[in-house]
Amino acid sequence: MSGSRLGRILVSEAELNARVGELGRAIARDYAGESPILVGVLQGAFLFMADLIRAIPIDLTTDFIGVSSYASGGKPSGQVRLVSDLSMPIEGRQVLIVEDIVDTGLTLSYLKRNLEARHPKRIQTCVLVDKIERRQVEIELDYVGFTIPNVFVVGYGFDYGGLYRNLPYIAELEAA
């Protein structure tokens, strides 16, 4: 996407703020009386997770896990690998995976299998963006922020070559 430029805004800053608040309230309601661990998937989900945890008024802990499923050029490789692991055990815990995007479903499917092997009490998922038309594997999503078309997006944690993560909205990145 050399020579790319920002295209249309798919999700505005106001829409992000409103929806993250709604997700936080739903999670707080569903986990009332629990103390879940929210597991953010690096690097894309860190902005979403920061805003999300501020919108969840219950006791919770956080951790991060890093995976890679992309080859050079930003294309999915079809292979998922763990690049950084959790810093605490999750056995017997309520786990909520916080992911920025689900497209093929391969990464989230891998993560769920990996974490289930650690014997948590329950694993659920919260994803900011769902690109359902790209799905290759069946995956259950418990909390979904937005469903978007099959376009390359940047902003609010999504990047291209390390750029654009800091945009306060989600926009399409167009090839020049």
CA angle (30, 136, 42) in 5-degree steps: 55
Q: For residue 15, how far is the Cα from the chain centroid?
A: 17
Q: Residues 6 or more apart from 154 whose CB is under 8 A from it?
A: 6, 160, 163, 164, 165, 167, 170, 171, 173
CA angle (76, 67, 25) in 5-degree steps: 105
How far apart, in whole angstroms, are the C-alpha atoms of residue 123 and residue 139? 12
What are the strands, taking DSSP E only, across 45-106? 61-70, 76-84, 94-102
Is 103 catalytic? The answer is yes
From 51, 100, 103, 159, active-site residue: 103
User: Which residues form the catalytic set?
Assistant: 103
